[in-house]
Amino acid sequence: MKKALITGISGFVGSHLAEFLTKEGIKVFGIAHPDYSKINLKDIEKKITVFSCNLLEKRGLEQTIMKIGPVDYVFHLAAFSSPALSFQNPKETLENNVISELNLLEILKDHKSSSKILIVGSADEYGEISGNKSSIDELTPLNPGSPYAVSKVAQDLLAQQYFTHFGLKIIRVRPFNHIGPRQSAIFVVPAFASQIAKLEKSNGGVLKVGNLN
């Protein structure tokens, strides 16, 4: 049976990925921050193995990875994920996103991992696109517009270095907007959806949307 490790498994994307992999017959291990809720995993908690660990603490992370043992796939999803909130916590955003990935890649390198590793960047790395370009591709210059976006560029390029210099089997992606159940209401679509649901139950009211410009 193939095995996978998901960092940030209790989050929006991590929990959906865990469900998908278990249905595919893959044994799933996860790492969740000890301070974060694991409510998203309630339907599959008996089918997976989850370890509480702060990725900023390298020694604890290494001990956790050694307990899990070699895996076929590593999905690195753990991150501070809000561009808007990153302006309020720039230092925390950069430390959390960059150092956590650095710790993970260092450990995988030191243990000569042969896992296929997915490093998740963001379309926010491209920022504002100049000119009349109606679509972008991987050759579009990066232009991060928030501390979050800067942290994702750093993650992206750090992953490239560990692929180039240490031979880790890394794939880098820059996903665009994705939405769905369990996504935090700090993001626009779930914020609207949760308000609409409440308004329907209370027979109307005001939908707060912020600046739509």
So which residues are the catalytic ones? 148
DSSP-assigned letters across all residues of 149-191: HHHHHHHHHHHHHHHHHH--EEEEE-------TT--TTSHHHH
- Return the number of other C-beta atoms located less than 10 Å from residue 125's C-beta: 23
Angle formed by the axes of helices 100-110 and 147-166, nearest 10°: 10
**Any idea what DSSP says for residue 130?**
P
How far apart (Å, rounded) are the C-alpha atoms in residues 39 and 48? 14
Q: Could you tell me if residue 180 is left (phi over 0), alpha (psi between -120 and 50 degrees) or otherwise beta?
A: left
Contacts by residues 123-131 (CB-CB < 8 Å, ≥ 24 positions apart): 123/174, 123/175, 123/176, 123/177, 124/83, 124/148, 124/149, 124/152, 125/149, 125/152, 125/153, 125/156, 125/174, 126/174
Amino acid identity for residue 77 in this structure? L
